[in-house]
Homo-oligomer: A and B are copies of this chain.
Protein backbone atom coordinates (compact mmCIF):
# COMPACT_ATOMS: atom_id res chain seq x y z
CA UNK A 1 0.00 0.00 0.00
CA UNK A 2 1.39 3.40 -0.89
CA UNK A 3 2.26 6.07 1.63
CA UNK A 4 -0.65 8.35 0.80
CA UNK A 5 -3.22 5.62 1.43
CA UNK A 6 -1.56 4.47 4.64
CA UNK A 7 -1.68 8.02 5.96
CA UNK A 8 -5.35 8.36 5.02
CA UNK A 9 -6.23 5.07 6.70
CA UNK A 10 -4.43 5.90 9.92
CA UNK A 11 -5.86 9.42 9.92
CA UNK A 12 -9.37 8.06 9.44
CA UNK A 13 -9.01 5.75 12.41
CA UNK A 14 -7.64 8.40 14.76
CA UNK A 15 -9.72 11.35 13.62
CA UNK A 16 -12.94 9.36 13.94
CA UNK A 17 -11.98 8.34 17.45
CA UNK A 18 -10.44 11.48 18.88
CA UNK A 19 -11.44 14.34 16.63
CA UNK A 20 -9.26 16.57 14.49
CA UNK A 21 -7.70 18.83 17.08
CA UNK A 22 -7.32 15.84 19.39
CA UNK A 23 -5.15 13.92 16.94
CA UNK A 24 -1.56 14.86 16.10
CA UNK A 25 0.31 14.21 12.90
CA UNK A 26 2.87 12.30 14.93
CA UNK A 27 0.23 9.82 16.08
CA UNK A 28 -0.97 9.42 12.52
CA UNK A 29 2.44 8.88 10.95
CA UNK A 30 3.43 6.56 13.77
CA UNK A 31 0.43 4.28 13.20
CA UNK A 32 0.79 4.56 9.43
CA UNK A 33 4.47 3.67 9.84
CA UNK A 34 5.62 6.51 7.62
CA UNK A 35 7.86 9.48 8.21
CA UNK A 36 6.39 12.51 9.92
CA UNK A 37 7.18 14.78 6.98
CA UNK A 38 5.18 12.56 4.62
CA UNK A 39 1.90 14.25 5.53
CA UNK A 40 3.13 17.68 4.49
CA UNK A 41 4.88 16.26 1.44
CA UNK A 42 1.81 14.42 0.12
CA UNK A 43 -1.04 16.58 1.36
CA UNK A 44 0.48 19.98 2.08
CA UNK A 45 -0.95 20.48 5.54
CA UNK A 46 -3.11 18.91 8.23
CA UNK A 47 -6.16 20.79 6.98
CA UNK A 48 -5.67 19.48 3.46
CA UNK A 49 -5.29 15.96 4.84
CA UNK A 50 -8.67 16.30 6.56
CA UNK A 51 -10.26 17.54 3.35
CA UNK A 52 -8.75 14.70 1.34
CA UNK A 53 -10.05 12.23 3.90
CA UNK A 54 -13.61 13.52 3.66
CA UNK A 55 -13.34 13.69 -0.10
CA UNK A 56 -12.47 10.00 -0.27
CA UNK A 57 -15.88 9.21 1.19
CA UNK A 58 -17.96 12.02 -0.23
CA UNK A 59 -16.86 11.28 -3.79
CA UNK A 60 -18.40 7.84 -3.40
CA UNK A 61 -21.36 8.73 -1.24
CA UNK A 62 -22.60 11.89 -2.93
CA UNK A 63 -23.38 10.48 -6.41
CA UNK A 64 -24.85 7.32 -4.95
CA UNK A 65 -27.05 9.32 -2.59
CA UNK A 66 -28.14 11.72 -5.32
CA UNK A 67 -29.04 8.81 -7.60
CA UNK A 68 -30.95 7.09 -4.85
CA UNK A 69 -32.92 10.23 -4.01
CA UNK A 70 -33.53 11.20 -7.63
CA UNK A 71 -34.93 7.75 -8.16
CA UNK A 72 -37.59 8.43 -5.56
CA UNK A 73 -38.27 11.89 -6.96
CA UNK A 74 -38.80 10.58 -10.48
CA UNK A 75 -40.54 7.29 -9.89
CA UNK A 76 -42.76 7.85 -6.89
CA UNK A 77 -45.78 10.12 -6.87
CA UNK A 78 -45.99 10.57 -3.15
CA UNK A 79 -43.25 8.71 -1.33
CA UNK A 80 -43.51 8.02 2.37
CA UNK A 81 -40.89 9.52 4.64
CA UNK A 82 -39.74 6.00 5.43
CA UNK A 83 -39.02 5.58 1.75
CA UNK A 84 -37.08 8.83 1.66
CA UNK A 85 -34.91 7.87 4.58
CA UNK A 86 -34.47 4.34 3.39
CA UNK A 87 -32.81 5.89 0.36
CA UNK A 88 -29.88 6.65 2.66
CA UNK A 89 -29.40 3.12 3.93
CA UNK A 90 -27.85 1.43 0.95
CA UNK A 91 -25.46 4.30 0.03
CA UNK A 92 -24.34 4.63 3.63
CA UNK A 93 -23.86 0.92 4.17
CA UNK A 94 -21.98 0.61 0.91
CA UNK A 95 -19.21 2.64 2.55
CA UNK A 96 -18.44 -0.53 4.44
CA UNK A 97 -17.35 -2.13 1.17
CA UNK A 98 -15.06 0.80 0.53
CA UNK A 99 -13.47 0.31 3.92
CA UNK A 100 -13.84 -1.65 7.13
CA UNK A 101 -16.15 0.29 9.45
CA UNK A 102 -16.50 2.78 6.62
CA UNK A 103 -20.06 3.75 7.48
CA UNK A 104 -19.44 4.35 11.13
CA UNK A 105 -16.09 6.05 10.54
CA UNK A 106 -17.54 8.41 7.98
CA UNK A 107 -20.45 9.42 10.18
CA UNK A 108 -18.14 9.99 13.10
CA UNK A 109 -15.92 12.19 10.96
CA UNK A 110 -18.99 14.09 9.86
CA UNK A 111 -19.89 14.63 13.48
CA UNK A 112 -16.46 15.98 14.33
CA UNK A 113 -16.54 18.24 11.31
CA UNK A 114 -19.51 20.04 12.82
CA UNK A 115 -17.91 20.79 16.15
CA UNK A 116 -14.18 20.78 15.54
CA UNK A 117 -12.08 23.28 13.68
CA UNK A 118 -14.33 26.32 13.64
CA UNK A 119 -16.60 24.94 10.97
CA UNK A 120 -14.21 25.19 8.06
CA UNK A 121 -15.11 21.63 7.11
CA UNK A 122 -18.81 22.27 7.33
CA UNK A 123 -18.26 25.03 4.83
CA UNK A 124 -16.23 22.71 2.64
CA UNK A 125 -18.91 20.03 2.68
CA UNK A 126 -21.96 22.20 2.14
CA UNK A 127 -20.21 24.07 -0.67
CA UNK A 128 -18.89 21.01 -2.44
CA UNK A 129 -21.88 18.73 -2.21
CA UNK A 130 -25.03 20.82 -2.40
CA UNK A 131 -26.81 18.26 -4.55
CA UNK A 132 -27.39 16.01 -1.57
CA UNK A 133 -29.17 18.65 0.44
CA UNK A 134 -31.22 19.84 -2.53
CA UNK A 135 -32.34 16.34 -3.43
CA UNK A 136 -33.16 15.46 0.12
CA UNK A 137 -35.17 18.65 0.60
CA UNK A 138 -37.06 17.97 -2.63
CA UNK A 139 -37.81 14.39 -1.64
CA UNK A 140 -39.07 15.36 1.80
CA UNK A 141 -41.17 18.10 0.24
CA UNK A 142 -42.79 15.58 -2.05
CA UNK A 143 -43.50 13.26 0.85
CA UNK A 144 -44.85 15.98 3.12
CA UNK A 145 -45.78 19.06 1.06
CA UNK A 146 -47.21 20.93 4.05
CA UNK A 147 -43.72 21.41 5.49
CA UNK A 148 -42.20 24.77 4.63
CA UNK A 149 -38.57 24.79 3.49
CA UNK A 150 -37.78 26.27 6.86
CA UNK A 151 -39.41 23.33 8.63
CA UNK A 152 -37.44 20.98 6.43
CA UNK A 153 -34.22 22.83 7.15
CA UNK A 154 -34.60 22.35 10.87
CA UNK A 155 -35.82 18.79 10.74
CA UNK A 156 -33.02 17.88 8.36
CA UNK A 157 -30.52 19.11 10.91
CA UNK A 158 -32.26 17.32 13.74
CA UNK A 159 -32.01 14.19 11.66
CA UNK A 160 -28.33 14.72 10.97
CA UNK A 161 -27.83 15.13 14.69
CA UNK A 162 -29.54 11.87 15.42
CA UNK A 163 -27.49 9.99 12.86
CA UNK A 164 -24.16 11.60 13.55
CA UNK A 165 -24.40 11.48 17.30
CA UNK A 166 -25.60 7.91 17.35
CA UNK A 167 -22.86 6.78 15.04
CA UNK A 168 -20.13 8.54 16.94
CA UNK A 169 -21.09 6.56 20.01
CA UNK A 170 -22.20 3.40 18.24
CA UNK A 171 -19.47 1.26 19.73
CA UNK A 172 -20.39 2.28 23.25
CA UNK A 173 -24.11 1.93 22.56
CA UNK A 174 -23.73 -1.51 21.01
CA UNK A 175 -21.75 -2.51 24.08
CA UNK A 176 -24.41 -1.29 26.47
CA UNK A 177 -27.17 -2.87 24.41
CA UNK A 178 -25.42 -6.20 24.53
CA UNK A 179 -24.81 -5.98 28.29
CA UNK A 180 -28.25 -4.72 29.29
CA UNK A 181 -30.40 -6.52 26.75
CA UNK A 182 -28.25 -9.44 25.68
CA UNK A 183 -28.41 -8.46 22.03
CA UNK A 184 -25.78 -8.52 19.34
CA UNK A 185 -26.12 -5.50 17.10
CA UNK A 186 -24.18 -3.96 14.27
CA UNK A 187 -24.30 -0.69 12.39
CA UNK A 188 -26.96 -1.94 10.00
CA UNK A 189 -29.26 -2.76 12.93
CA UNK A 190 -28.78 0.68 14.40
CA UNK A 191 -29.55 2.35 11.09
CA UNK A 192 -32.73 0.33 10.78
CA UNK A 193 -33.76 1.45 14.25
CA UNK A 194 -33.09 5.06 13.40
CA UNK A 195 -35.29 5.19 10.32
CA UNK A 196 -38.72 4.93 11.97
CA UNK A 197 -37.55 7.45 14.53
CA UNK A 198 -36.38 10.13 12.11
CA UNK A 199 -39.23 9.46 9.70
CA UNK A 200 -41.72 10.07 12.49
CA UNK A 201 -39.74 13.12 13.63
CA UNK A 202 -39.68 14.73 10.21
CA UNK A 203 -43.32 13.74 9.74
CA UNK A 204 -44.40 15.30 13.03
CA UNK A 205 -47.43 17.58 12.90
CA UNK A 206 -46.58 21.24 12.44
CA UNK A 207 -47.22 23.32 15.54
CA UNK A 208 -48.02 26.91 14.63
The one of B177, B193, B207 that contacts A196, using a Cβ cutoff of 8 Å: B207
> Are the CB atoms of B172 and A166 closer together than 8 Å?
no
Determine whether A36 belongs to the interface, using a CB cutoff of 8 Å to chain B: no
Interface 9-residue window, one of A15-23, A44-52, A53-61, A69-77: A15-23
The CA-CA distance from A203 to B201 in the complex, in Å, is: 9
Determine whether A118 belongs to the interface, using a CB cutoff of 8 Å to chain B: yes
The CA-CA distance from A34 to B205 in the complex, in Å, is: 51
For chain A, give the interface size range: 35 or more
Question: Closest approach, in angstroms, between the C-beta of A197 and any C-beta of chain B?
Answer: 4
> Are the CB atoms of A114 and B168 closer together than 8 Å?
yes
Quick one: closest B residue to A22, CB to CB? Answer: B21
5 residue pairs A–B, Cβ–Cβ below 8 Å: A22-B116, A114-B172, A115-B116, A155-B197, A201-B201
| Given A114-B165, A162-B162, 13 additional A-B pairs, CB 8 A | A21-B21, A22-B117, A114-B172, A115-B168, A122-B172, A149-B181, A150-B177, A154-B173, A161-B163, A192-B207, A196-B204, A196-B207, A201-B201
